[in-house]
Amino acid sequence: MIEEIIKKFNIEGEIESWEINHTGIINSTYVVTTKLDNGKKRQYLLQKINTNVFSEPFILMKNIEEVTSYLETQMQKEDDDKHQVLHVVHTKTGKALSYIEEASGERDYYRVYNYIANAVTYNKVVDKKIVFQIGKAWGHFQRLLRNYPMRRLTETIPDFHNTEARYYKLLDDIKFDSEGRVMEVTPEIVFILMRSDICPLITEQLGTSAVPWRVTHNDTKVNNVLMNKKTNDFLAVIDLDTVMPGSILFDYGDGIRSTASTAEEDEEDISKIALDLDLFEAYTDGYLSEMAEFLTYEEVALMPDAIRLMTLELSIRFLDDYINGDTYFKISSEKHNLIRARNQQALVVDIESKLDYMRDFIRKCHAKYVKKIK
Ligand code: GN1
Ligand code: MG
């Protein structure tokens, strides 16, 4: 099946082998190796798009192609040959996607990217220099896209980071209690109810001059940055499915949530979960080294709150999926989503105890870069 689908794309050489890559929890990903007549090899990334999550795959691909070609032009303008951009490989008939039709008539959509070689991704990083590079990668992405004509992008998943809408959806699903799991998760629900006042914080200001719409990635997980295997500098950001108009605060908050936690998202031992302030500082420093001069005063002021809010949001999403019978995120054990929700709540608690420290650091770090520029 994998061979059948990859052959529909404009790839070079004959398929030699393929293997599954397990990093994402939404799409299915395969790395395919081909061999050319002269013996050289090529590698491609084949992905089956989860159409439960991304219901408009062609529009999603249009967003990705728009943004990647814009990024490429910007990098050329800066004579940047250190960094790379994902390339969409078209089908032999010139499309960005191909599909296989199941007996039921349902279509499974696939796309292919060039595989970026000499790269590595991490699920957990403890080295501050690498974390600086990860923060810088996201700042670089936003800096290059800062003048992108936003109207060309479609919001493929409306309200993706609208925490308030996520909160109301959770309340609805609690009432429905389709799997009879609500009783079991009362403490986790109370945790969220007690913080409901912060849910509208970013979305209520989004679209004003204080918190303008910007091109955002919306899934700034630590393993969505490809690092150069040799130098450990960043090479490219990947997983562009959720590139949409949004707030930079979504990307920054989610990035710190994912990169500066002392544990991975499904760590069960709550005592191991905290926000590592050294990593927070390194990430923020890297991010602001690219973006400081382009942020509004209000965006800078909201950065610490965004870390708390994005973490709370993910706990809402994991808990909601558990209550609904695990229909959204892939799971590998019965309580996987509940474990993830508890994990994120433990992180929220630790973040709350460090907010004042982070506020102070962000202010000083921002001032450092703005002064340098003046
Ligand atoms: C999902 O599939 P993956 O791992 O790239 C999710 C993100 C979550 C993340 C949590 C489209 O991303 O929003 O932060 O899981 N993506 C979507 O691990 O919902
Ligand atoms: Mg993703």
Residues 259 and 364 in one domain: yes
Pocket test for ligand 1, best of 22, 23, 26, 242 (most atoms within 8 A of CB): 26
- 203-212 per-position pLDDT tens digit: 999 999 999 9
Last residue in a domain, options 82, 117, 152: 117
| pLDDT the model gives residue 373 | 67
195 and 77 in a common domain: no
Q: What is the pLDDT of residues 96-132, one digit of tens each?
A: 999 998 888 889 999 999 999 899 999 999 999 999 9
In a domain, 239, yes or no: yes
> Which structural domain range is residue 166 located in?
128-373
Mean pLDDT of 171-186: 98
Name residues contacting ligand 1 (CB within 6 A): 24-26, 53, 219, 221, 239, 242, 265, 314
Residue in 249, 257, 289, 228 with CA at minimum distance from that of residue 82 = 228
Residue 181 has pLDDT above 70, yes or no: yes
Indicate if 218 and 310 belong to the same structural domain.
yes
Whether residue 356 sits in one domain with residue 223: yes
Q: Are residues 149 and 109 in the same domain?
A: no
Does 217 map to a domain? Answer: yes
Of all residues in the chain, the percent with pLDDT exceeding 70 is: 99
Ligand 1 atom nearest to 23, measured from its CA: 4
How many other CB atoms sit within 10 Å of the CB of residue 234? 25
User: What radius of gyration, in Å, describes the C-alpha atoms of the chain?
Assistant: 21
CA-to-CA distance for 261 and 126, rounded, in angstroms? 10
**Phi, psi (rounded to 5 degrees) for 106:** -70, 145
Count of the separate structural domains present in the chain: 2
Which of 160-164, 192-196, 202-206, 370-374 is least confident? 370-374
> Contact at 8 Å (CB) between 91 and 8?
yes
Nearest CA to ligand 1 atom 17: 26
Ligand 1: which atom is nearest the Cα of residue 328? 19
Q: Identify the CATH number of the domain in which residue 24 sits.
A: 3.30.200.20
The reply to whether 334 and 187 lie within a common domain is: yes
Tokens 């923020």 locate to: 284
Backbone φ and ψ of 54, nearest 5°: -110, 95
- pLDDT tens-digit readout, 328-347: 999 999 999 999 999 999 99
State the average pLDDT over residues 223-249: 95
Instruction: Evaluate the CA torsion angle 258, 304, 192, 174 in order and state its sign.
Output: negative
Q: How far is CA 353 from CA 266, 299, 303, 306, in A?
A: 22, 21, 15, 15
The residue out of 72, 95, 117 marking a domain boundary is: 117
- What percentage of the chain carries pLDDT values higher than 90? 92
Say which CATH number the domain at 180 has.
Answer: 3.90.1200.10
Both 243 and 341 in a single domain?
Answer: yes
Q: Establish if 39 belongs to a structural domain.
A: yes
231 confidence band (pLDDT: 50, 70, 90): very high
**Are 240 and 321 within one domain?**
yes
Residue 25 alpha carbon to ligand 2 centre in Å: 7
Same domain, 65 and 148: no
Distance of alpha carbon 244 from alpha carbon 152, whole angstroms = 10
To test ligand 1's pocket by mutation, which of 23, 25, 29, 166 has the most ligand atoms within 8 angstroms of CB? 25
Domain final residue, candidates 117, 141, 163: 117
Say if residue 109 is in the same domain as residue 183: no
Residues 112 and 139 in one domain: no
- 122, part of any domain: no
**Quick one: 112 and 147 in the same domain?**
no
Which residue is closest in CA terms to ligand 1's atom 13? 219
Q: Is residue 123 included in any domain, yes or no?
A: no
Model pTM score: 0.93
> Hey, which of 138, 155, 221 would you mutate to test ligand 1's pocket, going by the most ligand atoms within 8 Å of its Cβ?
221
Q: What is the pLDDT of residue 374?
A: 64
List Cβ neighbours of 297 (8 Å cut-off, separation of 6 or more): 210
Predicted pLDDT at 158: 92
User: Ligand 1 centre from 362 Cα, in Å?
Assistant: 26
